Structure 1
Amino acid sequence: MTLKTISPTQARKLADAGAILIDVREPREYARERISGSLSHPLSRMRQGNPDTQGAKKAVFLCASGARTNPKNPALAACVDCDAYVMEGGIIAWKRAGLPVEREERKPMSVLRQALLVAGALATAGYLLGTFVNPAWHLLSLLVGCGLLFSGTTNFCPMAFFVSLLPWNRNKPKLPGATGIGQFG
């Protein structure tokens, strides 16, 4: 079953009429920025239980950019017992449409963002060490580049996995609208 794709303004109208917005991003992403009143139900945890649609007759799925909420994803349609839609462009498009979001800058940085910072630092260190210490250090930059290519083609980031195991990523933030499903990281 293919879900109908709607614009952020259409999603806002549905939400104002009683539809539930279901944010499928990871908990740390949701904690930092979210649409007011949206429900956190990470896509990575869909198999562990269905979101509580709170009796809504319509549900709208959203993520950061629309990449995770594929309208052809059978897991999305199967996890709700009401009419379901996918919001085109995710929370990025929502903000571009001038619609409000709640932000909490002091919440933890997403694991993916942490992994990208580590990758950037390692690539830069490899370049500088290779230029000023020993050319063999350039292999570090090559390794990081290959890791990023692997992550981009497989949609699995080993560095993000290892970063998620760090102690500060093990604390589970309490999220407004959270479903109680296990947290990533």
Structure 2
Amino acid sequence: MNPQLDPVAIDADEARTRLPGLTVIDVRTPGEYAAGHLPEALNIPLDQFDRALPALRRLPGELLVVCASGARSQNACRVLAGHGIRALTLTGGTQGWAGRGHELRRPAPGSRGAWAMERQVRLTAGTIVLAGLALGFLHPAWQLLSAGIAGGLVFSALTNTCGMAALLSKLPFNRPRPADLEATLAALAERGRPAVT
């Protein structure tokens, strides 16, 4: 692996002390972001990153990229490095942040956020495996469905990618509304403007 593309990781405690000087970008789906995010974090889902590159390039100061556990933010940092943008990643992601007792911002009480992507994947994979096993009583060929999901999970673990998560991220509750992404890009553009003295 190219060492120049390896993201620089900081832990939750260091990130918390440096938070006022960082621009925080959360690359999870909008539903995951709504379920709890770092203070002042802006949501740019990983699959929308290309649209944000010009605004991210103009930002002053340091950029901290976060996700649920750190895998997607590392991928985002590699994309940024490939475009000449240096960024930090949060070790352990928002899970590690919350695990250290640091505050996560959430929507108003009573509003319901979507499940974390990892939880959505577990539910979907488990449901398909159970369906394949149950349908296997009707015809043994249905058990291949369960075997296919098992193989996909092993491949996912070995490559640190997840095709099922990529598919689930396309569902409506995991997609950003155009207005939300435009507001985020406008906020980034505002931060990237030089201060008038």
Q: Same fold by TM (over 0.5)?
A: yes
Contact 2:64–2:87 at 8 Å: present in 1 too?
yes
Match of 1:143 among 148, 151, 159: 148
1:58 aligns to 2:62 (yes or no)? yes
Map of 1:97-176 to 2, 5 A cutoff? 97-104=100-107, 106-110=112-116, 113-130=119-136, 132-153=137-158, 155-157=161-163, 159-160=164-165, 162-163=167-168, 172=177
Contact 1:3-1:72 at 8 Å conserved across structures: no
Shift of 1:109: 3.3
Shift of 1:168: 5.8
Relative distance call for 1:92 and 1:164 in structure 2 (3 A) is closer
Tell whether the 8 Å contact from 1:39 to 1:178 is kept in structure 2 after alignment. no
Q: SS in structure 1 opposite 2:13?
A: helix
TM-score (norm 1): 0.71
* Percent pairwise identity: 34
- What is the deviation of 1:175? 5.2
Within the alignment, does 1:23 sit opposite 2:29 as a pair? no
Q: Which runs of 5+ in 2 are unaligned?
A: 187-197
Instruction: Kindly state the Cα deviation for residue 28 of structure 1 after the two structures are TM-superposed.
Output: 2.2
TM-score (norm 2): 0.67
1:114 maps to amino acid: Q
Contact 2:12 2:100 in 1 (8 A): yes
State the distance in 1 between where 2:19 and 2:174 align.
32
2:52–2:185: 8 Å Cα contact kept in structure 1? no
Letter aligned with residue 179 of structure 1 = T
Larger % of helix: which? 2
Shift of 1:96: 1.3
Cα drift, residue 6 of structure 1: 1.4
Q: What is the aligned length? A: 177
Q: Which amino acid aligns with 1:95?
A: A
